Amino acid sequence: MTLPLTLNERAQLVVDQMITHAVDYRITHDTVGGAHILHCATGGLQAGLQLARVCMSNRAEISLVTTDLGPSIQVVSDFPVLSCLASQYAGWQIKVDKYFAMGSGPMRAAYAKEDLFQHIHVREESSVAVGVLETRKPPTTDVVSYLVERLPQSVEKLTLAYAPAASIPGTIQVVARSLETALHKLHECKFDLSQIVSGMGVAPLPPIASQESQAIGWTNDAILYGGRVTLWVNTTDEVIAEIGPKIPSSGSADYGAPFAEIFARYGDFYKIDPLLFSPAEVTFVNLATGRQQKFGKIAPEILSKSFGI
């Protein structure tokens, strides 16, 4: 019997394809400290979609669609906890000397030291590990050594793809997190994640910023004020009615202004209410009862103010 592929093995198939077709994706690749490095900042739309698939271990369909808010990134997954929380969530802060990057991708499931993994009960043993770094600087030999030292000894091959938010691929992979932010918010609100069967999310693709700080503001606003998520769950209508109002971004006291203004108000990313980081609108479809409940709403006027359109 053939065993199912691990998250890291599934992501490895995607990065192998990116390496094979690097010219078509407008990316480059090399080897640093024994790890394979994909330089994705110069890539286009297809590179961005592939980078998002790597983040989600290819456990989701990710596509560029058109909505009433313009070009948008849509994510559909029948394995939302695995694809979003065990893989896509940028929960690994990688600090080595002056190097810093937010780490996501299934290498997190192999590391599995974040508190989150104690709740979702996922830890992988794999001969390969794949990670995505949100940063403008390529990982150094010291960064590779830092990661190798923390990954299981079973890992024989490490592949890292990176791109800044201020690039087409970087923007796409961040905006592809609409579904992930809803699941993480549900986790923070103590919802039983095993009751989530499937999920989809969509958020508008903002302009591609020239500065990283601007890109962070625009990509956050795309989800906070334009993100729409639908979750198919097995629970009670009463549980949904109680937790539902807390899940959209409007459930936070910091809701209501472009992210750049909120950040300027605090001057520190980590002082912002963490419950702000979720989609504008969340719909629950209860498979147990057939009832649908929607909470929150999109705010196109704030998106226009943020994007300058």
Rounded distance, CA 240 to CA 190, Å? Answer: 12
Range 1-59+86-175 classified under CATH 3.70.10.10 = no
Question: What's the CATH number for 177-309?
Answer: 3.30.1030.10
> How many CA atoms are closer than 13 Å to the CA of 65, on its beta-carbon side?
14
Average of per-residue pLDDT values in the chain: 96
Task: Tell whether the torsion through CA atoms of 224, 229, 234 and 238 is positive or negative.
Answer: positive
Best CA proximity match to 258, nearest among 220, 212, 208, 228: 220
Rounded distance, CA 166 to CA 182, Å? Answer: 24
Whether 11 shows a pLDDT value over 60: the answer reads yes
Contacts of 172 (CB under 8 A, 6+ apart): 45, 48, 49, 51, 52, 64, 73, 205
Whether 86 shows a pLDDT value over 80: the answer reads yes
Domain ranges for the chain? 1-59+86-175, 177-309
- The mean pLDDT value for 252-261 works out to 95
The answer to whether the CB of 107 falls within 8 A of the CB of 114 is no
Strand, coil or helix: what is 207?
coil
Q: Can you read off the two tokens belonging to residue 227?
A: 């993100």
154-195 pLDDT, tens digit each: 999 999 999 999 999 999 999 999 999 999 999 999 999 999
196-241 pLDDT, tens digit each: 999 999 999 999 999 999 999 999 999 999 999 999 999 999 999 9
